[in-house]
Structure 1
Amino acid sequence: MFDFLAQFILRYRLNLLLAVALVTAFFAVQIPKLELSYDFAQVVPPNDPEMLFLSEFKQEFGEDGNVLVIGLQDSSLYTPQNFARYRYMSLELQKIRGVEGVLSLPVMPRLVRNDSLRTFEPEPIFTGAPESQAELDSLLQLALDQKIYSRQLINPANGATLMVLTVDMSVIGSPDRQRLMDDLLMVTEPFEEKTGIKLHYAGVPFVRAVMTGKVQQELKLFLVLSVVVTALILFAFFRSVKAVVFPMVVIGVMIVWSLGTLVLFGFKITLLTGLIPPIIVVIGIPNCIYLLNKYHQEFAKTGHQQKSLSHIIRRIGFVTLITNFTTAIGFLVLLSTDIRILKEFGIVAGLNILATFVVSLILIPAIFSYLPPPSARHLRHLESRRLDRILTLFDVLVHRHRYRIMLVTIGVVLVSLLGVWQVQTIAYMVDDIPEESDLKQDLYFFEQNFGGVMPMEIVVDTGRPRGIMNLRTLGQVDSLQQYLASQPELSPPISIINFLKASRQAFYKGSPAFYELPSSRERSFLLPYLQNNSDIGRLSSSFMDSTGQKMRLSLKVADVGSQHMDTLVNLRILPQIRQLFPDSLGVGVQVTGTTLLFIKGNQYLIQNLRSSLLIAIVIIALVMALLFRNGRMILISLVPNMVPLIVTAGLMGFLGIPLKPSTALIFSIAFGISVDDSIHFLAKYRQELFNQKFFVAKAISLSLRETGSSMIYTSIVLFFGFVIFVFSEFGGTVALGMLTSITLLLAMLTNLLLLPSLLLAFDSGKYERDQQALIEHYDEFYVESEDEEIDLKQLRKEPLDQNKPSSGQ
């Protein structure tokens, strides 16, 4: 097959080059249609019971994650001049398109009893900018007396205050989001400049806006870095401009294809899919290295350009196909998950890795067939003394110390297993933002002063219409709210209870001492006041359904992480709920909210990634079985690639790096890539076994010499290619880059040391010629005399000047 393919590619090279150019042009036209995703990743399946409950909650009570908060803590705010500026800022923010409402200290309303209309009317506390300090202090005390706002807008302990902006989520989930954020900063930044008061920003809309902006920036950064790094490494290896430029052409084509594929499938740029172009760069370059290195090796042997180009397709085309397939498996197994973002990432990355094989196998031979043959200078890397010394050292270690290598490996694995037991599974709502970033520091500000900003909801279902207004039920909910308010990780809840208490306070002329639930006697004369107020009715509809059967307790929680959150909900909140609402009452209480579903989604994501790793191992083992048809060879090939994964997991445990979606993703990707080296080595080893009459030691030495250089080159490219991700501002991306680089470097060492050691120790080298494995059917299994069987005339549809001397670069 690959003999025919070699003749086909070289004979119709111009047509194939034009075909690749046309497909690339088609994908390039699609790229302007590519969109960024502005939504938090939907990880929990839509049919999950908790997801279904949250969807029903949003339909009944509205969005729980549409609040953006701006906080500050500075005593200079409480001067007439600065307070007037703060009031002006609040009013200006209300005018921004996409802001549905603003609640802050200067525009804070209070309920006032109107006996003539028998109603409660909302009345602004600050009707204008206070002109004197005495007036401001008096009104501030009046604001502090409104207990409904205590620790909601004002922290009475230290004077910290916040501004709550309700935003239109359709704007946040669209490209118009950036305009909204720019408008917001145009209003808030002048306040900071004129007053010297630092503002803090948080809330789900703000986090989403910041993270999507950073994804867009990092997509460009990593694409540039990956291209520059790989180009420099290629030049360092081959000392040839051609060996840099044309592999980069291959990579450029694949970048265009990968971005165009996203558009064709209707996918958007997310934190994961944004990594695909630089990953394609890093993974695609090894194809070019193997092809170029083999081309130079063949040309050094034969001095015949056309024959050398034909041989690189015939000899390593099949192995390159298999290695690209196993690499793609590491991504395609993500299709086995129920998670949309993983499926999108897996299918686009996997398909484009397979496409990289096709493009590189066409472009490298076709382009280099038009170029002068490599000069002696370009072949000098084949005789690199430094590389030769390294390979000689490996050869000596394998032959003389193979059992020591295996013992050292066992020792490292045992130590690593101790670290594996220490790995913790933990995820945060704002998981990937560095500690020193403004976003993280602002988050801490709100957690310290207001208990947090991440949404959490509790729904109380009485099971009967108007059951919420039952005095006993109201008392039990009030007890639950007091318990929740006492928890340091939570903000005080707000619900219909708070409005009933505020109504009672308003009825008694605003005295804070009356901020309590109405008694049964008081309810009879408070009820007409409440029924006559349409504003209170609209407000209460956000916290109670139309039938009065269900009520909502809305609160905010600190970003304490999945483990602490699990303890908070399951060991503290739910036991208190069961105590206050025993089953005999028939009242259902459920905790929900975007935060809990996000945390659950991360846990679900990790479980799916573990499963995908197992699937990848099984599929690759089956591939090995088809290739080698030998149980020993399957185990021997898998062990060197499992060891790096165990060592990396151990490092995570010792270094305190938690298992989270970004770090769990490492293992299936790294395994799919690292097994490529094993396939290249074993394919060459099986060929040399036949050539050396099943002399295992000689076959291993020759295999190390020929494949070792390419394995080292590609591993260095992969190492530095993934290292660039440590420059990310997202902690998960940093961990992905650092740990994947370490894993692949370890895989290179195990494939160059442990794999041949295992072969020497456990492989007899004896195989029946009439029971050939699949790997032996590809064109590299030949004898040297077969070179003459190539019909050079069939390749000459377009003339090649075979003996043209190289002019160099």
Structure 2
Amino acid sequence: MKKLLGIGFWEFIARIILRSRIVILGCIILITVLLAFQWKNIRFTQTEANLIPADDKVNVDYNKFLNHFGEEGNLIVIATKDKKLFTPKVYQAWSELMTEIKSHKQVTLVVSVDNLQKLIKNDSLETFELKPLVDESKVQNEQYLKEIQTELFTKLPFYEGLLYNKKTGAIRSAIYLDKKIVNTKARKDYVLNDLIPAIEKFKKATNIDLHTSGMPYIRTLNAKTIIDEIGLFIGAALLITSLIFFYFFRSFRATMISLIVVIIGVMWSFGIMGALGYEITVLTALVPTLVIVIGIPNCIFFINKYHQEYHKHANKAKALQRVITKTGTATLMTNITTAVGFATFIATNNVLLREFGVVTTINILAIYTLSLLLIPIFFSYIPPPISRHLGHLERESLTSFLQWIIRTVKYNRLGVYITSICLLVFGIIGIGKIKVSGSIIEDMPKNTAFYDDIRFFEKEFDGVMPLEIMIDTKKKNGAMKLTNLRRMEDLEQTIIDIPELSKPLSIVNIAKSFNQAYYNGNPDFYTLPSPNEEMFLLPYIKNSIKKSKDNQLKSYISSDGSVARITTFIKDENGERMEAIEAHIRNKVNKIFPEPRYEVIITGKPSVFQKGTKYLLDNLLSSLLFAFFLTGGLVAIMFRSFKMVLVSIIPNLLPLLMTAGLMGFLGIPLKPSTLLVFGIAFGMSVDDTLRFLAQYRLELSRNDWKIKKSVFATFDDAGISMFYTSIVLFFGFSVFMLSSFGGTVALGGLVALTLSFGMLSNLVLLPSLVLTLNKTLANQQELPEPTIDILEHTDEEIDELEKNNK
């Protein structure tokens, strides 16, 4: 009975490929055209990455908050510290800027010095009225503007921390976008096409430097940078991998077909994302470049085998057929193990990671199929390779490197094990030093103006990342009761005492401003009213709310008055402190808002992001164990040997531990981008392991089951391909270090580093383990026939099959 995917199967596949070249090329062209039509469905995500499952309590609480108060990330802020703002010319330009911003339908509210309102008591109507702070007829008087500045800083404490910093003199405007467009393309269009040009116009007219930030602004410019870098990555990856490829093979033909294969693969990757309806996220944006980086090693393996076969017998047709027949299963299995590394993300209960896992897995198998089909067909149409093209098979620098490895394995295995143990200890110690980052902006481009602006607002206004506290009193108008307002004030004092947080905003501030207005604007009365004062104030407040269609209360209290909101801002650099900060706030909440009388939710984008990082970290170990299990299962199916399973896992586990240890010693934190390194690197590193073991199994049968001879003979064939592919992967992933995003740089650098460790581990530790664990091997029966025929078949086996088929 023939084994699954055995020699007969691949001999059949080889005949189909070489005899149906026109049909296959036509099918590839048709698929490419059909997928190209799907490009129109490609969209870029307009929301942040949410790494937590939809049914997790963190997301349930966040969505509960959104249901009451809508999208909280709709604030854009513009600020300056320039003292010339309160001069007639600059103030006029500032006022015109704010008027232009407010004129756009995407903006619902602009709060700025030029349109600021203050509460005035109207005793005759028992109501509060809003009066403009600035008299427009006097704004050409510089002295008057200075008086306005003084009044703002001394008599309107409500706006401290929101519109001004009393200590430094910084002034800012708050721009609230329509919550309906915050997560849509309309937000991007407004920021890029309307807001930024208006700001640049103001800068040019006044020569004053403005700082702009806020979640909608940050997200828009961050997304634009990601889109711009997709082309950079694809171009750089094609250039670097093609140059390395040409250096190895010295053949324009081989380089050209490899570029054709990966370019078609990139076209397919965009088409597949469009067909699946997936948005381009910070993760899926990497897929086209990954297709190039993974596709080139496939091309190297097939072309290197073709050159080896032609070098043996100088028969082009025979060489092309045997490239497929000899290596079909081995290359398929190595691509499957690479796909397994990415497929582990499918097992996570997270849409973002699951989509990344699905699209990369499909594209890895697609690029393998393209390599398998196009490379033999291409070489069948062109002249056979010349001696210059085959020179890489005996290149002295390469053979010297492999000879050094062979000598190390042959004479110094004890040194290999001691070094491996030392590196293992190094990794374990380093892992203990790793920190977890909960920063939203840590991976954002550091060399951009909008990143500098984020730091400006963190310094002047204690951040732009909102932390939200929602208090459900479970009673109609319960949030307006003085007892609950005092509880909230007590909680706000706890927030103020936390240095990482800004001054909070809530219904408490509005109640204090009503009390101040009742006492004719005296800032000494910016306090919560006493029970007696409340009785006098209540008619004023009720009448004011009835008259106002757009009162400030609705941003901080639900329509039925039962739920209140407290908003504070956290400096992003304190993301790692988020858990401790929330615990401190929660401890206070439990004392003053006891359950079940109250329900208090602490949420907001920084909180969700930090908890998402923790969720991803908690799932890292299970994902890696899943990858180990799948890989071990594949090896067990292929070799039916527990020793081979053990041998395949150890050399790939050590590089992961070394990389993790290095991250600890270098202070590189665990975050979403660096957590992905381990699954990706493991899946790709296992390729070399399977290639080596497959060749070793073949060499045993060729060399009368002599272990040492078989191991060292394995280097003559598998060693070259392993070295070539590892070099390409190293430089291919290094392309991501061109990114301006810290996370992408870390991902590329760490994967490249891990794969380098993996190559050395598979070329040194793996054969050493094979020699040690198989010392007792005496005959073929101790290494059972594989269930899946991954082995490269001998010329004699293929000749016999061809003879029988005639």
Task: State the TM-score bracket (shorter-chain normalisation).
Answer: over 0.9
Deviations 1:532-567 (A, max 9, x none): 223287321222223322211122221134431111
Partner residue in 1 for 2:557 = 544
Q: What pairs with 1:592-671 in structure 2 (closer than 5 Å)?
A: 592-671=603-682
Q: What pairs with 1:16-415 in structure 2 (closer than 5 Å)?
A: 16-128=24-136, 130-144=139-153, 145-181=155-191, 182-415=193-426
2:462 to 451, 454, 477: 451
Mapped partners of 2:791, 2:488: distance in 1: 77
Mapped partners of 1:526, 1:467: distance in 2: 17
1:223 shift after superposition: 0.6
**Which segments of 5 or more consecutive residues in structure 2 lack a partner in the other structure?**
1-8
SS at match of 2:169: coil
1:83 shift after superposition: 1.9
SS at match of 2:120: strand
Assess if the C-alpha contact under 8 Å between 2:326 and 2:794 holds in 1: no
Relative to 1, partners in 2 of residues 1:264 and 1:296: Cα closer, same or farther, differing over 3 Å?
same
Q: Which moved more, 1:763-772 or 1:1-10?
A: 763-772
Relative to 1, partners in 2 of residues 1:775 and 1:721: Cα closer, same or farther, differing over 3 Å?
farther
Q: Which moved more, 1:74-83 or 1:12-21?
A: 74-83
- The one-letter amino acid paired with 1:541 is K
Assess if the C-alpha contact under 8 Å between 1:531 and 1:537 holds in 2: no
- The one-letter amino acid paired with 1:542 is S
Relative to 1, partners in 2 of residues 1:776 and 1:29: Cα closer, same or farther, differing over 3 Å?
closer
Q: Which moved more, 1:179-188 or 1:288-297?
A: 179-188
1:315 shift after superposition: 0.7
Deviations 1:548-594 (A, max 9, x none): 22211122221134431111110x222222333355x9333332222
1:784 matched to 2:793: no
- The one-letter amino acid paired with 1:784 is E
Mapped partners of 1:293, 1:740: distance in 2: 25
Deviations 1:7-42 (A, max 9, x none): 111111221111111111111121133111111123
Assess if the C-alpha contact under 8 Å between 2:329 and 2:789 holds in 1: no
1:692 to 698, 703, 712: 703
Assess if the C-alpha contact under 8 Å between 2:655 and 2:754 holds in 1: yes
Deviations 1:157-211 (A, max 9, x none): 1111111111124434333333312311121112222333221121111111011
Aligned sequence identity (%): 38
1:704 to 705, 715, 729: 715
- The one-letter amino acid paired with 1:549 is S
1:785 shift after superposition: 6.7
Assess if the C-alpha contact under 8 Å between 1:34 and 1:268 holds in 2: yes
State TM-score, norm by structure 1.
Answer: 0.95
Mapped partners of 1:358, 1:513: distance in 2: 77
1:783 shift after superposition: 5.1
1:698 shift after superposition: 1.2
Assess if the C-alpha contact under 8 Å between 1:285 and 1:717 holds in 2: yes
Partner residue in 2 for 1:489 = 500
Deviations 1:27-58 (A, max 9, x none): 11211331111111232222222322221222
Relative to 1, partners in 2 of residues 1:494 and 1:776: Cα closer, same or farther, differing over 3 Å?
closer
Mapped partners of 2:520, 2:803: distance in 1: 104
1:560 matched to 2:570: no
Q: Which moved more, 1:480-489 or 1:699-708?
A: 480-489
1:146 shift after superposition: 1.3
Mapped partners of 2:55, 2:41: distance in 1: 31
**Which segments of 5 or more consecutive residues in structure 1 lack a partner in the other structure?**
795-809
Query: Across the two proteins, how many residue pairs are aligned to each other?
Result: 792
1:476 matched to 2:487: yes
Mapped partners of 1:696, 1:736: distance in 2: 39
SS at match of 1:653: helix
Mapped partners of 2:318, 2:566: distance in 1: 77
SS at match of 1:555: strand
Relative to 1, partners in 2 of residues 1:169 and 1:608: Cα closer, same or farther, differing over 3 Å?
farther
Deviations 1:297-323 (A, max 9, x none): 000101111110011101111000000
1:424 matched to 2:435: yes
Mapped partners of 1:55, 1:469: distance in 2: 24
Mapped partners of 2:778, 2:185: distance in 1: 64
SS at match of 2:573: coil
SS at match of 1:500: helix
1:762 matched to 2:776: no
- The one-letter amino acid paired with 2:361 is G
- The one-letter amino acid paired with 1:107 is N
Deviations 1:516-537 (A, max 9, x none): 1122222222222222223287
1:84 shift after superposition: 2.0
1:774 to 744, 766, 786: 786
Assess if the C-alpha contact under 8 Å between 1:480 and 1:577 holds in 2: yes
Relative to 1, partners in 2 of residues 1:681 and 1:770: Cα closer, same or farther, differing over 3 Å?
closer
Q: Which moved more, 1:312-321 or 1:434-443?
A: 434-443
Assess if the C-alpha contact under 8 Å between 1:262 and 1:268 holds in 2: yes
Mapped partners of 1:207, 1:773: distance in 2: 58
Relative to 1, partners in 2 of residues 1:143 and 1:671: Cα closer, same or farther, differing over 3 Å?
same
Partner residue in 2 for 1:581 = 593
Mapped partners of 1:687, 1:88: distance in 2: 79
- The one-letter amino acid paired with 1:559 is D
- The one-letter amino acid paired with 2:156 is Q
Assess if the C-alpha contact under 8 Å between 1:2 and 1:778 holds in 2: no
Q: CA RMSD in A?
A: 1.9
Assess if the C-alpha contact under 8 Å between 2:41 and 2:275 holds in 1: no
SS at match of 2:279: coil
Mapped partners of 2:179, 2:341: distance in 1: 36
- The one-letter amino acid paired with 1:525 is F
Relative to 1, partners in 2 of residues 1:791 and 1:289: Cα closer, same or farther, differing over 3 Å?
farther
State TM-score, norm by structure 2.
Answer: 0.95
Mapped partners of 1:55, 1:776: distance in 2: 49
Assess if the C-alpha contact under 8 Å between 1:45 and 1:339 holds in 2: yes
- The one-letter amino acid paired with 1:187 is A
1:250 shift after superposition: 0.9
- The one-letter amino acid paired with 2:65 is F
1:94 shift after superposition: 0.6
Relative to 1, partners in 2 of residues 1:786 and 1:139: Cα closer, same or farther, differing over 3 Å?
closer
